[in-house]
A and B are shown apart, each in its own frame.
Chain A
Amino acid sequence: MNPLLLFLIPILPLFGGVINVCFGSRLPHRLVSGLSVAAVSGSFLLATLLWPLGSGEGTRVVLFSWLKSAGFQADVGILFDPLAAVMTLMVTGVATLIHLYAAGYMAEDESPARFFALLNLFVFAMLCIVLADNLLFLFLGWEGVGFCSYGLIGFWYRNSKNASAGRKAFIVTRIGDLFFAIALLWLFSAFGTVMIEQINARVAELDPLLLTGLTLLLLGGACGKSAQLPLMSWLPDAMAGPTPVSALIHAATMVTAGVYLLCRMFPLVSLSPTGMAAIALVGALTALYAASCALAQREIKRVLAYSTMSQIGYMFLAVGVGTVSGAMFHLLTHAFFKALLFMGAGCVIHLAGGENDIYRMGGLKEKSPQVFWLFLVGILCLAGTPLTGGFFSKDAILLTAFAAGDGFYATLWGIGVLTAGLTSFYSFRLLYLVFFGTARQAGQGHAPSPLMLWTLPPLALLGLCTGLLNLPHLFGGHEWLTLWLGQPMAEMLPVGTEIGLLFLMLIFFVGGWVIAHVRYRTFPGDEQAGWRSFLLSGWQADRVYELILLRPYRAICRFCWQGGDKALIDGVMEGLARLCLHWGDYVRRLSNGQVAFYLQGFAWGLLLIVGWFLLASVK
């Protein structure tokens, strides 16, 4: 297989997107969606076919040199190594299923061309991130993904709230990109190159302080894109976009880009202990924060959004404690079951006649048992029921976190376990409110189209079985994923502690389920308690940001405009002009029309001349 074929993986969605952009509005609806699905599935097939190219050191191939200037060389090149191969497969696979689902979901939408074009461009940009061999090409994908999510979130732009949600997403991720750009610049000025391989190879030369700085910057960039603590407020609002968008962007691909970046630059990140600690801390805190917020959410998609944020916190925790394979394992399983849940949510919304609020739904189990069973699988994986994919991946992370041992990591492990309990609680709360009890929704929902339904089972299957990929030794597994990624095997904990930990996880899982069962089995009525509204609005994050960031920013801008430009610079200029006018007026008043006054002027002039001659002659 010729490595240049690798370029077809990102090029296909790009062509699909460009064709839809240019001619989409003229093509019939079916052709548009068909074209985009074909493009993405084509690149999925290629990813599977070219899988062996990714083994071992991976292959590096360059198409053309993008930016070449004195000493700086950034070209459009692909580094297809094990990590990238896994990620590409996941991205293209999930994207294909989501495109199929979207073909059904957006059937009656009036501008499908724009939707599918943006969706394809999004996949292209994501593949650029995954496959890029240098940081600048990765940055291109990084911001491309930002723009596509802006376009897709604000797809139903007529309601300007959606458009501003899109804008918020773009700007918050842009702040993250800022840190990533600074890291990129710093790496270039340190190494003189932006090639990922070369950087990772020569990373040992840097002094620790610089390493920590770079890691923190990369963490900032990853937080922006993966909606982690400081820059997380855009993810819940991003639910304003259509459901396939939420499924693709906010479950499978874009939010995992941050984790992928950290894994890609892991040699650099792992060398600075403070950096790792920071990553782990951010991950754990975000997990806890998001899980607590998910407890009180009213809209189905916002619950899933917060749960995504929390699961990604786990992945950051995994990278923080040093297991890339753990993070990637959880990333894979999470991608499958979260995509399943989001698409299921789409079906649920259709069933409930467009109703989003879970308190005004219910009793959908009878309405369509098929959606219920698929949704149940997703919930089980999310909650971490034993033997499901979610359980193994989350457990692996918590094991390594526990193994990291000392006080700081122990507390993070504690937070992780607590969040696991919360996760199972809110997942079952969602399940009971939506599917059990009496039907409370007002509108008459319609069954989701077959296309939407038939894309769910494969994801359910994948969600359940990915656990086998990286089975810990306890269960006789031999961690294929870690082997494939060439990462060190998880060091062996004494069997007793491992079983104890598993048992502890089980207790938290069952506890969460029981509490949810007790509380929500029968509809408890519309809860509006004080602390719930605090959690509902994500610990008032938006209001805090508005107060400490946006309001002062607007004030500074207005001050600069009125104060700086108008008053200061223009003021000075116009002040000068007025001064001249003022003094001009005085001189004008001198000529007052009195003849005598003028004659006196002559006389004084004469006196001056005579005086001058007198002085001249006296000398």
Chain B
Amino acid sequence: MATVLFYLLGLVTVIATLLAITRRNPVHAVIYLVNSFFALALLFYLLGAPLVAAWEVIIYAGAIMVLFLFIIMMLELAPTPEADRMGPTWWQWLPVLLLALALVGCTLMLIGVDAGVAQGVPRWYATPRDFGFALFGKYALAVEVVSFQLLFAAVGAFYVGKPERKRRQKKEEGA
């Protein structure tokens, strides 16, 4: 039953992502992407990572995609004109298409190379309790570092996002 579910969810994720990529309108793309993230969260859960699944929904689908929507709304991005929806002309696409196909082929072959991969993924369930012990036990330092990272990101975004007028005034006062 789980195997069937896995393939189903896999299919949904792939189709959602494919649609997300090819949309002309960024909003549609974001929405499709949210769908694919939900399917992905379920996959995580299936693979015995309930906490990660939850976070996937909260952080990715919830926060990041919403942020994307804010930006798209704020910048009133008109859907890209018909002409260069998928890049300027068809034949300019060729190298990228070729490249992607070659990559797909190589990667799939590469994965198949190692025999050990063929074994199945056991049913395993990581309880939040273990997760917590591990997170704040072995990786305590890493958590602190990540918090720094988030802080820097916030400061950076704040600075970059500051409107032009305020920054110019600050420069004149400073000079």
Contacts and interface: CB of A to CB of B under 8 A. Distances in A.
Residue in A600, A606, A607 whose Cβ sees the most chain B Cβ within 10 Å: A607
A614 B174 CA distance: 58
A617 B107 CA distance: 12
B99 A611 contact: no
B102 A607 contact: yes
Interface in A578-619: 600, 603-604, 606-607, 610-611, 613-614, 617
A614 B103 contact: no
A614 B106 contact: yes
B96 interface: yes
Contacts of A606: 103
Contacts of A617: 110, 113
Interface residues of A, number: 10
Taking residues whose C-beta sits less than 8 angstroms from the other chain, chain B's interface range is 10 to 19
Contacts of B113: 614, 617
B95 A614 contact: no
A617 to B, nearest CB: 5
Nearest to B92: A596
Interface string B89-119: 0000001100110110011011001000000
Contacts of A603: 96, 99-100, 103
A610 B103 contact: yes
A338 to B, nearest CB: 96
B106 A611 contact: yes
Contacts of B107: 610
Nearest to B110: A614
A387 to B, nearest CB: 115
Contacts of A613: 110
Given A607-B102, A607-B103, A610-B103, A600 B110 contact: no
Interface string B71-104: 0000000000000000000000001100110110
A384 B110 CA distance: 118
B99 A614 contact: no
Interface string B106-138: 110110010000000000000000000000000
A604 B99 contact: yes
Contacts of A607: 99, 102-103, 106
A395 to B, nearest CB: 108
A404 to B, nearest CB: 101
Nearest to B107: A610
Interface in B18-54: none
B110 A610 contact: yes
B109 A614 contact: yes
A600 B106 contact: no
Given A610-B110, A613-B110, A617-B110, A600 B103 contact: no
A597 B99 CA distance: 13
A600 B99 contact: yes
Contacts of B110: 610, 613-614, 617
A610 B113 CA distance: 13
Contacts of B100: 603
Residue in A600, A613, A614 whose Cβ sees the most chain B Cβ within 10 Å: A614
Contacts of B106: 607, 610-611, 614
Contacts of B95: 600
Nearest to B103: A607
Nearest to A606: B103
Contacts of A614: 106, 109-110, 113
Contacts of A600: 95-96, 99
A611 B110 CA distance: 9
Nearest to A599: B96
B115 to A, nearest CB: 12
Interface string A474-516: 0000000000000000000000000000000000000000000
A614 B105 CA distance: 11
Contacts of B99: 600, 603-604, 607
A617 B113 CA distance: 8
Contacts of B103: 603, 606-607, 610
A610 B100 CA distance: 12
B107 to A, nearest CB: 6
Nearest to A604: B99
A603 B99 CA distance: 8
A371 B162 CA distance: 115
Nearest to A609: B106
A606 B99 CA distance: 10
A606 to B, nearest CB: 7
Residue in B99, B106, B107 whose Cβ sees the most chain A Cβ within 10 Å: B106
A32 to B, nearest CB: 82
The 9 closest A-B pairs by CB, nearest first: A610-B106, A617-B113, A603-B99, A614-B106, A614-B110, A607-B103, A607-B102, A611-B106, A613-B110
25 contacts: A600-B95, A600-B96, A600-B99, A603-B96, A603-B99, A603-B100, A603-B103, A604-B99, A606-B103, A607-B99, A607-B102, A607-B103, A607-B106, A610-B103, A610-B106, A610-B107, A610-B110, A611-B106, A613-B110, A614-B106, A614-B109, A614-B110, A614-B113, A617-B110, A617-B113
Interface of B: 95-96, 99-100, 102-103, 106-107, 109-110, 113
Given A610-B103, A610-B107, A617-B110, 8 more contacts: A600-B96, A600-B99, A603-B100, A606-B103, A610-B106, A610-B110, A614-B106, A617-B113
